[in-house]
Amino acid sequence: MRLPRPSLPEPMLARNGVQEHGGWPAGVQWATPAAQLALVATRRPSPLIPRPRCLLALVLVLSLGPTLFAAAPPAARVDEIAAWLPARPTASGQPITNRAAWSALLNQPEWRALIRDAETDARAGLPEQPDDLYLDFSRTGNRERWQRVAFARRARVTTFALAEALEDRGRFLPPLEETIRALCAERTWVYPAHDAALRNFRGEVVEMDLGSTALSWDLAAALGLLGDRLSPELRSLIRANLQRRTLEPFRAMIEGRQPEAFWLRATHNWNAVCLAGTVGTALAMVESPRDRAWFVAVAEERIRSFLQGFTPDGYCSEGLGYWNYGFGHYVWLGEMLRRATDGRLDLLALPEAQMPARFPWRAEILNGIYPSISDCSPGTRPDARVVRILAERLQRTFPGGVRPTQPGPGRALAITLLDTFLPRPLPPIPSSTAAPDPDPLRTWFQDAGVLICRPGPGQPPFAACLKGGHNAEHHNHNDVGSFSLVVGSTMVICDPGAEVYTARTFSARRYESRVLSSYGHSVPVVDGQLQSTGAAARARVVSVSLSPEADRVVFDLRSAYRVNGLTKLEREFEFRRGARPTLTVTDRWEAARPIPFESALVTWSPWSAQTAGLQIGEGTAIVRAALDTSGKDYTLADEILEEDVRTPQKPRRIAIRLRDAAPRGEMRMTFEPAQP
């Protein structure tokens, strides 16, 4: 058995490798220095692609560095936390010397299989990672070639450390020590995609990113797990590298001796991920309780930025995959701190964390299918490890599509140890005990402008996700007014989700992608224009009504299109429940002159034209769409969106185009599931 792929966003796995920030402006690589940002700002995308704005303002803010942002935590708070911490640094989990704890795991097949994995990896040998492989991204924009090798090297730390802890025979120590020495010899632990100027590679700076903090945490966990089973020379090597690559740069940033990394105040996954890795390293490595408390106090303050990235109703605009990754690390950080402080510091008890923690329970569309909005891989479900903790602490059952499981080996050593040895039962969150259950008929994320409509009891399995929002969200796609339709266990009208990340994905050329721009979403094209990018391009809620029989929402979409003379553009969704459920999508527009108009449907399924409409889907998952254009002639055309996507089948775009331009009009599409 190979280690299971964790329920993280696809970019963290072997295929794509690197998580990104998302957010505004979507064309900026947030880890890029200010000089690089200025260069990016000068690159002109295609005139047909909406261009990110306000880049210069962002450059100016980021270039201010420590003079604007640096702030050490209050000494009184550091002293208070220091009194709660143990006298000695402690890594998560149980050390190898606790033979009872580790021997008990051998009763579980997934842990026994891990030993076979370690034997296979030991025979295969350490993958080579030459400098030229790191430089590949800066030359070609390709992430995968370096990441495939780098992730395999890092996974060996987890595999060998866990296998040795299970057996305690010493046979996995040599390949583990070889791997750690090779990792410590790398020029930088920062991912190539986050080192565009190669300053870390050249040794000019020592910065911190998602990859470096994760590796630091895992090496600290390996040292805490194996202790003096590792050679004295290797233990010293690990400590020196963690100090140089993580602990010292972090302290220097907070104390104003080094420019502050953007992620310390970011409102997306980077903040939680990097803070968790840094604090996990500090709790395991820093000798002085007060020095450890300093790291905790900084994280306690800075993690609130991450929570600000959620709307008050708990919606995660980065998508479910990044909820797994970002909020998952928030949960791991919280459980680490709760244990280290004997329950005195509990991040999950913060009021701002209550609604984000409930996101998986509220975001399901139907039958374990969740929205693939933003840079989310289609088919993503909530991370069972994170949900297991939240379900216990929130006192809830598991959300749809998530199977209750026991803790097992994962790819991240530190998280595996923390998850496996968390003392049970976990304490409930006091503020959550009286929280109401999610509405089974719908979820209305009113602050985000997203409505999920579900069938009533005993009704056909037909559900929809209707998206308003805006075009400056984290991991943004230009998708204001888009929708997805689920029949049974199939998303028939789809959001295509994320593309395979390249240098283009997080540059000013982002919306050249035909799946990230509005061209790849089920939204109109108005006067030949795609949607623009930015916070001003948003769906204003005109009206909303919710009842057991039907849900209706009307969005004003005018601001999403830069069309001269456009005076009205509304999209109305009406979802009707019952024995014959329907979703009706009506577009109404007015302009000062005749303008071309088309709408689109995006699907992975086959389709065919029908009398006055079309049919999409196959097998038991088929929808029929009746088209009404108020007597205006229209044409149907389809094409495959030729982008590198994360699904086996590329999405198909079906265009519904009016033959003639008109100063006003109405287009209505009524969808219903095919009756058996």
| pLDDT digits 0-9 by tens, 343-359 | 999 999 999 999 999 99
Confidence of residue 438 (pLDDT cuts 50, 70, 90): confident
Task: Give the largest Cα separation in the chain, rounded.
Answer: 82
How many angstroms separate the Cα of 593 from the Cα of each of 48, 566, 590, 660? 21, 8, 9, 12
Confidence of residue 71 (pLDDT cuts 50, 70, 90): confident
pLDDT > 80? residue 649:
yes
Percent of the chain with pLDDT over 70: 89
pLDDT > 80? residue 465:
yes
This prediction has a pTM of: 0.90
Percent of the chain with pLDDT over 90: 86
Burial profile 456-486: b = 16 or more Cβ within 10 angstroms, e = fewer = eeeebbbbbbbbbbbbbbbbbbbbbbbbbbb
Q: pLDDT value at position 346?
A: 97
10-16+68-432 CATH: 1.50.10.100
pLDDT > 60? residue 392:
yes
Would you list the domain boundaries of the chain? 10-16+68-432, 442-673
87/335 Cα distance (integer angstroms): 19
As given in the structure block, the two tokens for residue 40 are 């990016």
Q: pLDDT value at position 1?
A: 38
pLDDT tens, position by position, 118-176:
999 999 999 999 999 999 999 999 999 999 999 999 999 999 999 999 999 999 999 99
How many angstroms separate the Cα of 174 from the Cα of each of 162, 170, 226, 432? 14, 8, 13, 48
Average confidence (pLDDT) over 467-492: 98
**Other CB atoms within 10 A of residue 613 CB:** 17
Architecture of the domain defined by 442-673: Distorted Sandwich (2.70)
Only one residue has tokens 């849900």, namely: 551
pLDDT tens, position by position, 586-632:
999 999 999 999 999 999 999 999 998 999 999 999 999 999 999 99
Q: pLDDT value at position 31?
A: 33
Q: pLDDT value at position 404?
A: 82
pLDDT > 60? residue 428:
yes
Average pLDDT, rounded, for the chain: 90
Peptide bond into 25 cis (omega under 30): yes
Provide the 8-state DSSP code for 529. Answer: B
369/465 Cα distance (integer angstroms): 11
